[in-house]
Amino acid sequence: MSFALKSVAIAALSLTLLSAHAQKGETVKIALIDPQTGLMGPVGMNQLRSWQYFAEKFSASNPAGVKFEMVAFDNKLSPAESLNAFKAALDQGVRYITQGNGSSVAGALIDAVNKHNERNPGKEVIFLNYAAVDPDFTNSKCSYWHFRFDADTSMKMEAMTTFMKDQKDVKSVYLLNQNYSHGQQVAKFAKENLARKRPDVKVVGEDLHPLAQVRDFAPYIAKIKASGADTVITGNWGSDLALLIKAANEGGYTGKFYTYYTGVTGTPTALGTGGEGRVFQVAYQHYNMGGDMGKWGDDFKAKYKDDMYTGAIPTAFNVLGAAMAKAKSTDPVKVAAAMEGIKVKNFNGEVEMRKLDHQLQQALFLTVWQKADQKYPYSPENTGMTLAPVKEFPAFVSSTPTSCQMKRPG
């Protein structure tokens, strides 16, 4: 080969290698838009620390070689404040946003991201949804720019009722939920699933209450007791679950609770030993998984004197790093295309970002509140109690169909 040809070949190879690692060393800013004050502030602050913790962990090790940096905005659980935060993030050149507390907020942000991306080609933004679980976001309101790392309300209810169908002591159910899309969907899917799997079970009462406003749940507990319900199904989270559980303990309600968010800030303390063997949670992780989750949980607790319970955060970093490596870019247009259909090995097994609707497909776990012991030693909020695994549901069991008709760019 002549010297000239050899030089061209070397230059082409160098260019290829350079483009393969064009993103290496880049800093990727992610804006977290969630409550850091108010009744849900403790939950938001825990999750902010989780995002910061995993940004550091995954900056040290991700296949794209990028650095992650968090930019936090307190949205006070308000859709209007969230839109202001989104504009402020754009002004700082942020191209990735994340949010999880409140599907009402997520809905407003999905609309805002869609409009922004349509009007500003070349400045597209991706929305990493780590905890807003309204099924509509991956069905009728699905968006190419939205990716969900939590399991949605219908998926968790599918797993929960698959377990409940074999529990002969469940005969009469009370539905108590927050009055916004997620709470409404919990009630809807509970009724549909029970009718299909356990038509003998009676729904003896149903209530929706304002989100993050009720300070005393004693009147609700009185209604539940009067209904004769042996089981309560609730999608409540944060103060709305902690205060509900507290009222149940104080009011002497001895029925079972099937929940989505028992492990979240404040609820373990409210439970104490009062709900032993009677409070169940369905989630994509639990405190006693061991492996990476065990190491992270212990490390997080030592560092922050707090519990790490939002596993969708390391999942988001895991998937994002893999997609950026696959795309050889941090450009949201290329990364979105790479994230579609991607499969990665995760702390809860292999997960897949379903291309049809951008809903992560993953295993779910049902756990029960019991005393911590040698086998299941992790104790949230130092209660001496834990959430011990009862049943694991592979991704295909909890998966639910989608009606998404996604509009893709180009």
Task: Give the pLDDT confidence score for residue 23 in this predicted structure.
Answer: 76
The dihedral sign for the CA sequence 57, 366, 194, 270: negative
CATH topology of 25-150+289-359 equal to that of 152-282+362-396?
Answer: yes
Q: Which CATH class is domain 25-150+289-359?
A: alpha beta
Statement: residue 13 has pLDDT above 90: no
Dist CA 329 CA 21 (whole Å): 8
Is the per-residue pLDDT at 4 higher than 80?
Answer: no
pLDDT tens digits, residue range 197-206? 999 999 999 9
Question: Looking at the predicted structure, is the pLDDT value of residue 45 above 70?
Answer: yes
User: What is the domain class of 152-282+362-396 according to CATH?
Assistant: alpha beta
Mean pLDDT calculated for residue range 42-48 = 97
pLDDT digit string, tens, across residues 287-329: 999 999 999 999 999 999 999 999 999 999 999 999 999 999 9
Q: Domains of the chain: which residue ranges?
A: 25-150+289-359, 152-282+362-396
pLDDT digits (tens, 9 = 90+) for 105-123: 999 999 999 999 999 999 9
Q: Is the pLDDT of residue 214 over 70?
A: yes
Binning pLDDT at 50, 70 and 90, where does residue 24 land? confident
What is the pTM assigned to this prediction? Answer: 0.93
